[in-house]
Amino acid sequence: MTVSFTDIQGHWAEDCIYQLAIHNLAQGYPDGRFAPDKSLTRAEFSAFIYLAFSTAEPVREPVVFKDLSNSHWAFDTIQFAYQTGFLSGYPGQYFKPDIAMPRVQAIKALVSGFGHDNGNIVNEVLVQYFDDAAEIPAYGARAIATAIQQRLIVNYPNLRQLRPNAEITRAELAAILCRALQIYCVPEEFIVGPAVAAPHPDALVLVRPQFDDIGDNVSVPLDISENLFVDGLTRVERGGKTGFINPQGQLVLPMELDRYKRGAFSEGRLPVEIDGKLGYIDATGKVAIAAQFTQAEAFRDGLAVVATRLDNNVNDYYAVIDRQGNFVVTPQYSGITPFSEGLAIAITFSGLCNGLDHTGKVVFQIDGIIPRGGFRNGYATFMKDKKMGLLDPQGNIVLAPEYISISGYSKGRAWVTRNPRDIGIVCVDFDGNPISPLSFLSGSANPFVDGWAWVTAASGQSGYLSDDGEFSTDFEWIGPFSDGLAAALTRNSLGYINRDREWVIPPQFDDPRQQPSTKDFHQYQGYTFSEGRAAVLKNGKFGFIDRTGEMVIPAQFEWVAPFSEGLAAVRSDREDFYIDSTGQKVFTSRFPIGPNIGYEQVSFKNGYALFIGEWGYGLIDKKGDVVIPGQFNRVQLNYADYDNARWLKVSLRLDRYIHGAPRPTDHQSPRPPYIQDYTWGLIRLPQTGTSTEQPLLLLEDNSSDHGQLLKQLVLT
């Protein structure tokens, strides 16, 4: 569904309004407006309640209000709000549908509808949070105190001003409804209530979706690129500006337009531009190395490559500095590769290449080559006469420049292409001799692991190439090793081998390539051992074996995911559920967990697993209960654990109206009047036991039927 209101862009509640509307939980006007600052009548309020909580069950019989006819436009929604306990009438059996709704009544209605009553020590709570607590009418005091504890109240622009008797606006109600529905788009600085810690949902959503992007989208060293946080900070972008947040979600370096756009934090330093020159700041934003350079690279192993211009020369002179800004190598080179594996290669203006160690000492010199980058796996590639070769750390040419490409080099072997007409690549030793007479498809040449590599010959036949040149087709496929074993496929049967390629569990299981749910078999990790169990296929059904090959969970499932934290997602007879290591059902999933959803997504990590509901991704716990309702359009979870937690990058969709664009009158409109956008946030899943607080769970009260309302809502 596309929503593009013409009057909410830039409004403080824009995200809340949009998320309610896209979920069909709020509506605007026929002319395309939402009228965010318009106050609500009691009748209009009931319409919002009906849309947001349409699955709520009645708790009382309908009543005939003297001032409400059956023909009133809001008759049905008012009756719904009354019967479900959200709204009540006035003495004398009046409803007063057309009078404005005060903020205190709106908050009280939500508390009543959810059946909460935590109104103990009321006055102390109200005074603690509001400067205008004295203005709260007595009939609403307990409800307001309860709403504080449940973190329902949104006060904009002043957190300590409740304005209880002011008429509630459509935007204010949208924000409060988002809090009630656990839609994470309300700025934390406007939410009234106590601080919380995991497992409270508000603590798990560390950063609500609000940024255009999160994480470094610039070049970072290979060994830290999988981390979301580098040096305790990660980059955030919004509206063309860039800043940095810490693992607590706090903005440590403020959003600025151009200052942080030249690199990533590395070893406590970030290149920044100041008055047209480049320098470095530390993690507090303080200038650590004065701006004086024309080029400034990320630090590696305590050193960074920089460039400056001497005496107004037009050429950049490259140098190396330490973390204090001292020159380890003075400005003198036309270029220097980044330090890697203890070495860098510097090029003089006369074309001589010098190998530099960490002290700046020249450890080798070689003329007539052009380095292609730093050292990796003990070697560096270079160009000479438009051909590639390989250099060792002593400056020796170990592979002569005779190739148009070199890749996968390590342990005396490299994959090479000699000329553009070659249909494949060959594997050579460092004397340039092919280890096999065969050529292989370039996209299929994997690195050598434990003496052999999975390859596909130019003829199309796949198999394994040993580092001594033997090409074996004994195995059609070998998976990754886990617990010393790897799944292996031979003659359409699956078994398990050790690292010597000896059968430990003989081939006896079905070829998973014949199963529709595992068509991408080579990418599937389910057959690897995890927590002492591996999934196998027998007679068209999945089961689990132990490391001896015994079928400890009988083959009975149409689809399975690997075990993680003691549970595995499975499907049997079109029912999706989770089992324990004995095969016993733990809980039935309310959401699909079949082959169209990633295996990693449905696997538990730190006590939580993702699910996909009607409106997007959410989180469940190990009882199968929804912790965060489905709402996120995208999830990225391929980050290394950091700060004792798993990190999920999540997004909400936002269609932004193009100011002045005509609204389409039919489905043939060539240009919609909106831009589809996404805002990103962060979910932090701490390791089990890292939180000692036991906070109040949002909108949950086991003493009331209403306390289970969230479990019935459309968002889940």
User: How many Å apart are CA 597 and CA 592, to the nearest integer?
Assistant: 8
Q: Side chain identity at 675, as an amino acid letter?
A: I
In angstroms, the CA 567 to CA 586 distance is 8
Evaluate whether 226 touches 636 at the Cβ level (below 8 Å). Answer: no
* DSSP, res 639: S
> How far apart (Å, rounded) are the C-alpha atoms in residues 54 and 715?
11
pLDDT confidence of residue 127:
95
User: In this structure, what DSSP letter does residue 615 have?
Assistant: T
| Concatenated DSSP letters of 18-43 | HHHHHTTS----TTS---TT-B-BHH
The answer to whether position 428 is within a domain reads yes
Q: Is the pLDDT confidence value at 695 over 70?
A: no
Are residues 287 and 184 located together in one domain of the fold? Answer: no
Task: Read off the pLDDT of each residue in 118-134 and give the average, rounded to a whole number.
Answer: 86
What element of type H or E holds 121? none
Least confident of 135-144, 158-167, 252-261, 272-281: 252-261
Average pLDDT of the chain to the nearest whole number: 87
Indicate whether 656 pLDDT > 60.
Answer: no
Q: What is the pLDDT of residues 475-500, one digit of tens each?
A: 888 888 888 999 998 888 999 999 88
Residue 345 shares a structural domain with residue 276: yes
Which residue is listed with tokens 């009133």? 72
Q: Please check whether residues 58 and 160 belong to one and the same domain.
A: yes
Domain region containing 372: 251-446
In a domain, 136, yes or no: yes
Output the pLDDT for position 176.
Answer: 97
- Do 274 and 151 have their domain in common? no
Q: Do the domain assignments include residue 426? A: yes
DSSP secondary-structure letter at 337?
P
What pLDDT, on the 0 to 100 scale, is given for residue 479?
82
HEC string of 218-245? CCCCHHHCCCCCECCEEEEEECCEEEEE
- Decide if 506 is inside a domain: no
Looking at the fold, whether 300 and 421 belong to one and the same domain comes out as yes
- My answer on whether 25 and 160 are in the same domain is yes
- Please say if the pLDDT value at position 711 is more than 60: no
Does residue 328 belong to any structural domain of this protein? Answer: yes
Q: Are residues 280 and 415 in the same domain?
A: yes
Confidence of residue 705 (pLDDT cuts 50, 70, 90): very low
Helix or strand holding residue 174 (H, E): helix 170-180
Q: Which of 403, 430, 446 is the last residue of a domain?
A: 446
In a domain, 592, yes or no: no
Last residue of a domain, one of 416, 446, 476: 446
Each residue of 243-265: pLDDT tens digit? 999 998 899 999 887 777 666 78
Residues 18 and 122 in one domain: yes
Q: Are residues 256 and 131 in the same domain?
A: no
Residues 183 and 265 in one domain: no
Q: Please state whether the predicted TM-score (pTM) of the whole model is above 0.75.
A: yes
pLDDT exceeds cutoff 70 at 117: no
Among 130-134, 227-231, 384-388, the least confident range: 227-231
Quickly state the pLDDT bin for 599 (edges 50, 70, 90): confident
Tens digits of residue pLDDT in 667-692: 444 444 555 678 899 999 998 754 43
Number of domains in the chain: 2
12 secondary structure, DSSP code: T
- Nearest C-alpha neighbor of 59 from the set 27, 99, 88, 23: 88
Q: What is the CA radius of gyration of the chain?
A: 32
Rounded to an integer, the average pLDDT of 123-138 is: 95
Residue 698 reports pLDDT greater than 80: no
Residue finishing a domain among 446, 466, 490: 446
- The dihedrals phi and psi of 451, each to the nearest 5 degrees, come to 90, 0
> Which residues does 321 contact at the CB level (< 8 Å), separation at least 6?
289, 303, 304, 306, 327, 328
Sheet holding 551-557, edge to edge: 534-538, 541-545, 551-557
Residue 171 lies in a domain: yes
User: Are 257 and 190 part of one and the same domain?
Assistant: no
* Residue 117 included in any domain: yes
For 167-187, letters b (16+ CB in 10 Å) and e give bbbbbbbbbbbbbbbbbbbbe
Q: Are residues 367 and 440 in the same domain?
A: yes
Stated as kind and residue range, the H or E segment containing 110 is helix 103-114
